[in-house]
Amino acid sequence: MRFNAKLCISFILLCHILGSSAKPHGLSLKQSFLDRLHHFIKNFKSAAECDACKAFVDIAQVAFKTKPSEDDIVSFLTKVCIKMKIEDKTVCDGIIKEFRQEVLTVFDDYFISSNEICGSLLGPSCATKPNPDIFWNVTFPKTPKPPVRPIPPPKAGSPVIRVLHISDIHLDPLYQEGASSDCGEPLCCRKTDPQAEPGNGAGKYGDYACDTPLITLENMLKHINDTQEFDYALWTGDIPAHNVWNQSRADQLQALDYAVKLILEYLPNKVIFPALGNHESSPVNSFPPPSITGPDSNQWLRDSLASHWHHWLPDYTMSTIKKGAYYTVLISKGLRIISLNMNYCNNMNWWLLLNDVDPAHQLQWLVDTLQEAEDNGEKVHIIGHIPPGSGDCLRAWSWNYYSIINRYQSTVTAQFFGHTHNDEFEIFYDEETSKIPLSIAYIGPSVTPFQGHNPGYRIYTVDGNYANSSRVVLDHETYILDLEKANKGNVTWELEYKAKEAYKMKSLLPAEWDNLVNRMATDKDLLEMVYK
């Protein structure tokens, strides 16, 4: 069973819109509100998400005038959530309590209509979200874009570097072999779930409906240490499990601490460049910008990231990590890493309703950092969690990022993201014609098998350390653990494919990826292989 997060958030949203106008000892629910809500339950049990969202918010407009108490609303909507079978009692109770403070705080300051709310939540197919700042832009230096020169292939025998990419661990410390994978909650296979019939329960190394067992993560890290040669690793976020209705700040800090200790143990003497995922906070997706201070701030998380990431990162990165969980490192002469906090584009981050114009000034910092890199003749690799341009990233933010990549296409030679749990790629095209491919973003597979995936990781081969190196990705190889085989005793991390060989590509330059897409349009067998 998949977690219907958006519909649950709609309930939470209504709960907090109502609560934001309530007094500590406010009036009880008035009959007019109850009548409308019961009418909604009766007529919208099978409503589409968009209709349900708008109906919730419309009812909230009436409730604003009745001023019911916050506790009354929370209690009543929890019952409605259960009655409509959006989730079970445990999840309905937990998710509303989890988001109560955040959404209440946001909507105390910023009340918007059903179209605005549901357009933000579910996208333009539901409703248009009016936003006077939709076309905000970062400021580029007056330095003109340098001429784009063809990238020469490396000479035979030129040095290369190998880069490990791990993403979306989602380690579940409560995973239980033999537990039911169909427990009626968004995340199953846990010690708190009933045992399944013999032979039908969760396997020792994982289940396609559940998160990562500790034994699987440890096995993967040991396998990587024993068999792979690599120069450094990219770790693009999402550490905690998907039990988002029952996670505290202490839980998230414990998950971060435990995962870092595991990586230090199994990959000693290796430099790791991490990026922040959307599951690291509590509540999930809650990333207030630095301007939010006091108890609602997530400085608790940023300070902990700085402390834990300090194992691999230099002192000078700590200031921007503590400010906004982003940083840059010159890892060798001519090659710079930039790690972005993609939660400032996350359309499920309610804090962006207060102000979504370049939170933490991160994109302006990115422009300034790339300009300095261009001036110094450096190449840059960008890492992050949520891919720009995806449905989970705000359009205005994505557009600015796209413009930045266009301007600095000669400097940014590779991008690496996670979040989707899929093995994917994005092609960036020029702004003028939208036909010239100029950059690639690689979206790595997930370690978690959650929602139907074999656990995986990737190794990139990059044009290496020598004068005038292009620093482009030359090839990549993806390794997976076949869970069906592993749970029967054959625990083997196997090479799934190498990109150039599998797709018959001359290189992994943007033009070749564009050519692959065009070949897929007419070659059904190729399309099916890429999809597989």
Chain segment 297-312, per-residue pLDDT in tens? 999 999 999 999 999 9
Q: Is 168 annotated as a binding residue?
A: yes
Contact 310/325 with Cβ under 8 angstroms? no
> What pTM did the predictor assign?
0.85
Q: Is 15 helix (H, G, I), strand (E, B) or coil?
A: helix
The answer for residues whose C-beta is within 8 angstroms of residue 422's C-beta and 6 or more apart is: 443, 445, 446, 453
Q: How many Å apart are CA 287 and CA 280, to the nearest integer?
A: 10
Q: Is 430 annotated as a binding residue?
A: no
Nearest-5° Cα angle at 467, 465 to 472: 55
Q: Is 223 annotated as a binding residue?
A: no
pLDDT at 371 over 80: yes
Mean pLDDT for the stretch of residues 204-233: 98
Looking at residue 29, its pLDDT comes to 39
Q: Is 278 annotated as a binding residue?
A: yes
Q: How many Å apart are CA 309 and CA 275, to the nearest integer?
A: 10
- The bridge status of strand 232-235 relative to strand 271-274 is parallel
Chain segment 50-86, per-residue pLDDT in tens? 777 777 666 655 554 455 555 665 666 666 666 666 6
Q: Is 92 helix (H, G, I), strand (E, B) or coil?
A: helix
Element of type H or E holding 118: helix 114-122
Mean pLDDT for the stretch of residues 22-28: 34
Looking at residue 126, its pLDDT comes to 78
Q: Which residues of 283-320 are buried (b: 16+ CB within 10 A; e: fewer)?
A: bbbbbbbbebeeeeebeebbebbbbbbeebbeeebbeb
Mean pLDDT for the stretch of residues 258-264: 98
Q: Number of helices (H) and strands (E), helices first, in the chain?
A: 16, 12
Looking at residue 152, its pLDDT comes to 86
DSSP label at 154? P
- Look over the chain and give the mean of its residue pLDDT values, rounded to a whole number: 86
pLDDT at 265 over 80: yes
Q: Is 207 annotated as a binding residue?
A: no
Chain segment 128-159, per-residue pLDDT in tens? 655 544 578 999 999 999 999 999 889 888 99
The answer for residues whose C-beta is within 8 angstroms of residue 355's C-beta and 6 or more apart is: 289, 291
DSSP label at 362? H
Chain segment 472-525, per-residue pLDDT in tens? 999 999 999 999 999 999 999 999 999 999 999 999 999 999 999 999 999 999
- The bridge status of strand 424-429 relative to strand 437-443 is antiparallel
Residue written as tokens 């973003």? 441
pLDDT at 249 over 70: yes
Q: How many Å apart are CA 7 and CA 200, to the nearest integer?
A: 30
The answer for residues whose C-beta is within 8 angstroms of residue 75's C-beta and 6 or more apart is: none
Looking at residue 33, its pLDDT comes to 44
How does residue 173 score in pLDDT terms, banded at 50, 70 and 90? very high
Looking at residue 177, its pLDDT comes to 96
Chain segment 378-426, per-residue pLDDT in tens? 999 999 999 999 989 998 999 999 999 999 999 999 999 999 999 999 9
Looking at residue 344, its pLDDT comes to 96
Q: How many Å apart are CA 483 and CA 449, to the nearest integer?
A: 8
Q: Is 211 annotated as a binding residue?
A: no
Q: Is 16 annotated as a binding residue?
A: no
